Amino acid sequence: MLFTSYGFIGFLIIVFAIYYLLPGRFQWQFLLLASYVFYFIADPRYLIFIAITSATTFLAAKKISDKKKSFDVWFKEHKKEYEKEERKSLKAKEHAAEKKIFLACLLFNLGILAVTKYTNFTIANINSLLSTFGRADGISFVQLIIPMGISFYTFQSMGYLIDVFNGKHEAQDNLFKFALFVSFFPQLVQGPISRYSDLSATLYEEHRFDWRTVSFGLERILWGFFKKLVIADRILVAVKAIIEDTNTYNGFYAFAGAMFYALELYADFTGGIDITIGVAETMGIKVTENFIRPYFSKNIKEYWNRWHITMGTWFTDYIFYPISASQFMMKLSKKSRAKLGNNLGKRVPVYLSSFIVWFTTGIWHGASWNFIVWGLGNFVVIMISQELEPFYRWFHSKVHVAGTFGWRLFQVVRTTLIMSSLRMFDCYRDVPLTFKMFGSIFSKSSLSQLKIDAFIEMGLTECDYLVVFIGMLVLVAVSLVQRTGSVRGKIATLKAPVRFVIWYGLFMVTLIFGAYGIGYSASQFIYNQF
Amino acid sequence: MYKKIIIVILIIAICLSGLGLATKLLEPKYMSGILEGAMIQEYYDDPTDHNVVFIGDCELYENISPVYLWENFGINSYIRGSAQQLIWQSYYLAEETIKTEKPDIIVFNVLSMKYNEPQNEAYNRMTLDGMKWSKSKVDSINASMTDDEKFIEYLFPILRYHSRWSDLNSDDFKYLFHRDKVSFNGYYMRVDVKAAEDVPEGRPLPDYQFGDNSYYYLEKLTQLCKENDVELILVKAPTLYPYWYDEWDEQISEFAKENNLTYINFLEAQDEIGIDWSTDTYDGGLHLNLAGAEKLSQYFGTILSEEYNVPDRRDEKALNEYWTTVINRYNDEIARQEKNLELYGSVHEPEN
Amino acid sequence: MEQLLEILGDLHPEVDFATAKDLVTGGILDSFDIVSLISEINEEFDVTIGAAELTPENFASAETIYALIKAKLDDED
């Protein structure tokens, strides 16, 4: 069920109504039911996958948590009986026992993810490898279903498992409560990847109908729909046209396509997250923010702290840190320092961990080389900016531009341009084509290539571009206001008629200017002779 | 407390009227160019005790002139026609008509038997949007929707027509709350001539059998008329194209015989009617023009009044007054089209 | 403590680590810095800090980092 479907809106209305009609203690149980219904509507077979992940993770975490507790109790009573060394080995033994359960569960669930998502990608690569050795007969592809949101709920469950294993918090005692944490329906389609400690704070509570909470939630949903329907789905027409016809649209148009895509992705992704967070908020549940005005970032590292935040922190906490703090890396660090000198040597482990993280980030986004190259592209850019830091320090000591508006603007534009260039891997069919198109921006762009008609031929009218442009200005304005606090909070302090005009206006604008329905395509309503 | 309730009611009222106004503004008006979309809803404005109601596609609403039937036979009739009206749409229009009034005769044009499935969203809209809400309309929508249509978009037309914001023109504002009449008791008039030459034989079809769904509704229509004591007459208009196959004709004849209905194939009566394909069509044989329609009306009117004893009601004062207004509009329209033909070579005014 | 401040100072000469209290949430130390830091600490103090301990709370200020090291040095219990 797409967020922007009548079905989803109908589903929401029913869920909201029942949720607030039910006695509070049944609310979370109802949410679990609603989430499974949501999944069932998408495809009944998906239920098996999410149920298995929920059950195995629940059991493993519970076992680990129980073992920890009983060991701690036992250890407290008996520790005086043992010497220091013995105590250490007892602890190590316990840790190893827990680790077995932990690893079994972790590998099992990541295994499901790997098999469903990456089997055919692996087969394709093996086949192309075989064919370079002259073997034409490849392995045939297998028909696998990829459960909706599997990357998100698997990561969310594994984050929970790791946290329990590390003793950050205790395991959830109730299987159904845990199942709700994994399957909470607003998050299923596109995240964010919540942490158990964050989401569980409000997920199971009783929530009485509170006008302010509900209206704030609905406002957030409406804002999400505005972004998705009015801006993203409209400019998507041009994006598609550009990436599908690379013979016509190269050079400057490839650049325009990258810019349009930056806008489309931002409006679509953040709009979707707005709907997710808004839906949860309407029910009194707090979901972690996933974006903080990412296009205002001054460098790539900052960008990744502000774009798809829950994914970034997941990779940092559960992949980057464990790898870079591992024994192996510590040893590698010592070795490389001895061989390469302190300055260069200490970077080796950091960069190696970083490389692994970006490789996995890439492949997590999708089973294709495009995403892998995209991930590694990010790695390269971050390494370069890391290495350039001394140069920037030197530059700023000579030229005093740091902190000025012009310099900040330059940084923001530079970051956006770099990220948009990398994202071209998202768009084009394969890696070589992406490079070709990126190259064409520099080799083929010229003023004579630029024709207004070409933009119209992409399927959008002047009016559409105007709507997109105005929509973009609204986005920028809202982001600017947001820097000093919640925009909805600020609007809430205005006089009632003004508030009414703003929200009703946004509703009507979305309703009328949204690019949805069969009427959208102008060619639909053409009459012939009858 | 009272104040609060009043405010809430006021807000709801403002919201709904805003939505209503936007819907009115954005829905197509069909007041110039494609007039066919406005015809279905015109029916509701007029007096209803018709003796004959024609239900069907362009083979009725461009080929029969109720004004002529009135002037020459005193027959009070109406055409509930719309472009590419599918048989289930005709059925539900008949159902609605019988609920509103009880005509003596319903005339159905059988060409639409050839469509067994929903066809085209735009045509659906032109037939369905104009209907008043009733169970018949709901059923008709459900029977007509193509794959990408949604019922909710009929319920709230703004969900369908919101994209017209960039096509709004002066007509949309002018006809925000009212419409002009575009038809003459359902008749769509054209006075221009484009002779029919070399109308091709129909290409052979893989299968001439009408679909089950078509038959289902034809039977339903027959049943409906029988139950309500309405005479159902099946006709095939005399126009040459779309091609009417002999195999189709046989099936309809067969059906009529089995169900004891009259079936008139006007194609076979072309000579008696006196249609001259060099003067009586405006688009090369697809539809009749005014001259052709009046000839067919003369022929069919005679049958209706002589064989079916449809009464001459020209002595009814109220009806006479109503028809006088229609006749005046009719004559004005003839004059307008003829003037345009003379000035611009087309019945339409040139754009700008 | 002196050693620690020295290590921190090498990472970001422009920051006064003796007083700063929001190293992570304030965006002074990013994940790269933290990783370099634990390898430096490993080198200097011969203390292994695990991934689970890399939390914003533990790295909020020089004092909290020092407390972490001290706890490790004093051994577990």
The residue of chain A with its CA nearest to that of B20 is A508
* A381 or B46, higher pLDDT: A381
Over range A257-277, report the average pLDDT: 94
* End residue of a domain, out of A187, A206, A225: A206
| Chain A interface includes C46 (CB < 8 A) | no
Helices C31-45 & C2-11 angle (0-180, nearest 10) = 140
- Chain A closest-CA separation from residue B314 CA (Å): 34
- Chain B closest-CA separation from residue A524 CA (Å): 8
Quick one: A431 and A346 in the same domain? yes
Taken as a whole, chain C contains a residue count of: 77
Report how far apart, in Å, the C-alpha atoms of B162 and of each of A6, A511, A516, B28 are: 15, 7, 9, 10
% pLDDT > 90, chain B? 77
Task: Work out the angle at residue B208's Cα, subtended by the Cα atoms of residues B204 and B213, and round it to the nearest 5 degrees.
Answer: 140
Contacts with B286 from chain A: Cβ below 8 Å: 529
Domain count, chain A: 3
Quick one: A125 and A53 in the same domain? yes
% pLDDT > 70, chain B? 99
Quick one: pLDDT band at residue A220, thresholds 50, 70, 90? Answer: very high
Q: Per residue, what are the HEC states of C23-60?
A: CCCCCCCCHHHHHHHHHHHHHHHCCCCCHHHCCCCCCC
- Asked whether the predicted pLDDT for residue A343 surpasses 80, the reply is no
Over range A365-384, report the average pLDDT: 92
Quick one: A70 and A143 in the same domain? yes
Contact between residue B162 and residue A511 where contact means Cβ atoms under 8 Å apart: yes
> pLDDT tens digit string along A380-402?
999 998 888 888 888 888 888 87
Contact between residue A371 and residue A425 where contact means Cβ atoms under 8 Å apart: yes
Quick one: A307 and A243 in the same domain? no
Quick one: A278 and A322 in the same domain? no
Per-residue burial over B81-91, b if 16 or more Cβ lie within 10 Å, else e, is bbbbbbbbbbb
| Chain A interface includes C76 (CB < 8 A) | yes
| Chain A interface includes C28 (CB < 8 A) | no
* End residue of a domain, out of A178, A206, A234: A206
Quick one: A60 and A190 in the same domain? yes
Give the pLDDT confidence score for residue B327 in this predicted structure: 95
Which of B118, B99, B105, B115 shows the shortest CA–CA distance to B79?
A: B105
Over range A25-54, report the average pLDDT: 94
Type of residue numbered A335: K
Residues of A near B (Cβ–Cβ under 8 Å) read: 6, 461, 463-464, 500, 504, 508, 511-520, 522, 524-527, 529-530
Q: Which runs of consecutive H residues, i.e. helices, occur in A133-232?
A: 150-165, 175-183, 185-188, 196-203, 211-225
Taken as a whole, chain A contains a residue count of: 530
Give the pLDDT confidence score for residue A91 in this predicted structure: 87
- The answer to whether position A148 is within a domain reads yes
Residues of A near C (Cβ–Cβ under 8 Å) read: 79, 84, 87-88, 91, 166-168, 301-302, 305, 316-317, 320-322, 324-327, 329-330, 333-334, 337, 346, 349-350, 353-354, 386
Find the domain containing C38 and state its range: 2-11+19-73
Domain count, chain C: 1
Per-residue burial over A286-301, b if 16 or more Cβ lie within 10 Å, else e, is ebbebbebbbbbebbb
Torsion of CA B294, B300, B303, B309, to 10 degrees: -80
Torsion of CA B56, B57, B60, B63, to 10 degrees: 180
Give the nearest partner residue to B165 out of A500, A512, A525, using CB atoms.
A512
CB contact under 8 A, C51 and A350: no
- Asked whether the predicted pLDDT for residue B352 surpasses 60, the reply is no
Strand partners, B281: B288
Type of residue numbered C3: Q
Quick one: A214 and A176 in the same domain? no
The CATH superfamily holding the domain B46-145+179-344 is: SGNH hydrolase (3.40.50.1110)
Find which of A509, A512, A524, A526 to mutate to test the B interface (most B CBs within 10 Å of its CB). A512
Q: How far apart are CA B187 and CA B182, in angstroms?
A: 9
Give the pLDDT confidence score for residue B101 in this predicted structure: 92
Quick one: A461 and A445 in the same domain? no
- Using CB atoms, list chains with 3+ pairs below 8 Å to chain B: A
Quick one: A218 and A335 in the same domain? no
Chains C and B touching, counted as 3 or more CB pairs less than 8 Å apart: no
Over range B107-111, report the average pLDDT: 95
Give the pLDDT confidence score for residue A529 in this predicted structure: 29
- Asked whether the predicted pLDDT for residue C66 surpasses 80, the reply is yes
Strand partners, B234: B108, B263
Token pair 């704070």 is found at A201
CB contact under 8 A, B162 and A511: yes
Contact between residue B99 and residue B57 where contact means Cβ atoms under 8 Å apart: no
Which of A153, A172, A161 shows the shortest CA–CA distance to A46?
A: A153
Residue B157 preceded by cis peptide, ω within 30: no
Token pair 């200020």 is found at C61
Quick one: pLDDT band at residue A524, thresholds 50, 70, 90? Answer: very low
Quick one: A270 and A304 in the same domain? no
Quick one: pLDDT band at residue A12, thresholds 50, 70, 90? Answer: very high
- The answer to whether position A14 is within a domain reads no
- The answer to whether position A503 is within a domain reads yes
**3-state class of B150 per DSSP?**
coil
Q: Which runs of consecutive H residues, i.e. helices, occur in A79-149?
A: 84-132
CB contact under 8 A, B153 and A520: no
> pLDDT tens digit string along B168-192?
889 899 999 999 999 999 999 999 9
> pLDDT tens digit string along B112-147?
999 999 988 889 999 999 999 999 999 999 999 998
Quickly count helices (H) and strands (E) in chain A: 25, 0
- Chain B closest-CA separation from residue A517 CA (Å): 6
Q: How far apart are CA A316 and CA A322, in angstroms?
A: 9
Quick one: A376 and A407 in the same domain? yes
- The answer to whether position A527 is within a domain reads no
Reading the block at residue A56, the tokens are 């195995």
Contact between residue A122 and residue A114 where contact means Cβ atoms under 8 Å apart: no
Give the pLDDT confidence score for residue A136 in this predicted structure: 67
- Asked whether the predicted pLDDT for residue A247 surpasses 70, the reply is yes
Structural Rg of chain B based on CA atoms: 21
Question: What CATH number is attached to the domain comprising C27?
Answer: 1.10.1200.10
Instruction: Work out the number of other CB atoms within 10 angstroms of the CB of residue B135.
Output: 11
- Using CB atoms, list chains with 3+ pairs below 8 Å to chain C: A
Task: Work out the angle at residue B114's Cα, subtended by the Cα atoms of residues B111 and B115, and round it to the nearest 5 degrees.
Answer: 110
Contacts with C34 from chain A: Cβ below 8 Å: 321
Reading the block at residue C50, the tokens are 């695990």
CB contact under 8 A, A321 and C43: no
CB contact under 8 A, A301 and C51: no
Find the domain containing A32 and state its range: 26-206
Q: How far apart are CA A294 and CA A271, in angstroms?
A: 13
* End residue of a domain, out of A431, A449, A467: A449
Strand partners, B107: B54, B233
- Chain B closest-CA separation from residue A172 CA (Å): 43
pTM of the prediction?
0.90
- A155: Cβ–Cβ under 8 A, 6 or more apart, which residues? A193, A311, A314, A364
Q: How far apart are CA A117 and CA A150, in angstroms?
A: 9
The residue of chain B with its CA nearest to that of A500 is B11
> pLDDT tens digit string along A156-192?
999 999 999 998 899 999 999 999 999 999 998 888 9
Over range B285-290, report the average pLDDT: 90
- The answer to whether position A161 is within a domain reads yes
Report how far apart, in Å, the C-alpha atoms of A523 and of each of B29, B122, B302, B342 are: 18, 11, 45, 34
